[in-house]
Structure 1
Amino acid sequence: MIATHGFSATLTAKPAAGDRLLELLLSGLDEGSPGASEHCVVYLVSRSASDPDVVHVTEGWTSEDDHHRIFAGTAAQAIVAQVGTLLAKEPEYADHVPVGGKAAFAQP
């Protein structure tokens, strides 16, 4: 599948909540979670090198409609609700139109 819709988000956790935020976001790859959907073709979670409470998420989806449909589901809404309790401020988003690339990384 090819990504035609994407975005990145920068999330700032409450002090000392960065590890929990990372765990929660990575659970989005578990079976039945949004990142496990066939429509999610990129799901990259990374941490700021200078601030352990700042987390970045990059996602690529087959379409914007697929992204909205998957995130309207109960599994995604449960993760979103939990993420909200860990944040020190509103997330910052940037939309993307994926055009190509490559990713390889070690699993935590």
Structure 2
Amino acid sequence: MIVNYGFNATLTARPGMGDRLVDLLLTGLHGGGPGASEHCVVYLVSRSASDPAVVHVTEGWTTEEDHHRIFAGEAARSIVAQIEGLLAKKSEYTDYVPVCGKAAF
């Protein structure tokens, strides 16, 4: 599948909540979570090397519409609601359209 819409999000957890934030974000890869959708081509959760409270999420979607439709669902709304309670400040987002790249895990 081709990624036609994506974004990077930087989330900053409240003190001592970085591990919980990562765990919660990773639940999005399972079951009915947004990262498990066939329309989610990239779902990468990373930690800052210098600040354990800072978590980065990279998502790539088939279309922006697919992203919005999946995030309007119950599973995604539940995860987002739980994430909001762990954050120290508002998340920062940067949208993008991938050109080319490589991923190996």
Aligned residues: 105
Q: CA RMSD in A?
A: 0.6
Structure 1 runs of 4+ aligned residues shifted over 3 Å read: none
Within-5 A mapping of 1:26-105 = 26-105=26-105
Unaligned residue ranges in structure 2 (runs of 5+): none
- Displacement of 1:68: 0.2
Unaligned residue ranges in structure 1 (runs of 5+): none
Q: 1: CA distance between counterparts of 2:47 and 2:11? A: 10
Q: 2: CA distance between counterparts of 1:99 and 1:40? A: 17
Q: TM-score, normalised by structure 1?
A: 0.95
Residue in 2 that maps onto 1:3: 3
- Displacement of 1:37: 0.2
Q: TM-score, normalised by structure 2?
A: 0.98
Determine what percentage of the aligned residue pairs are the same residue. 74
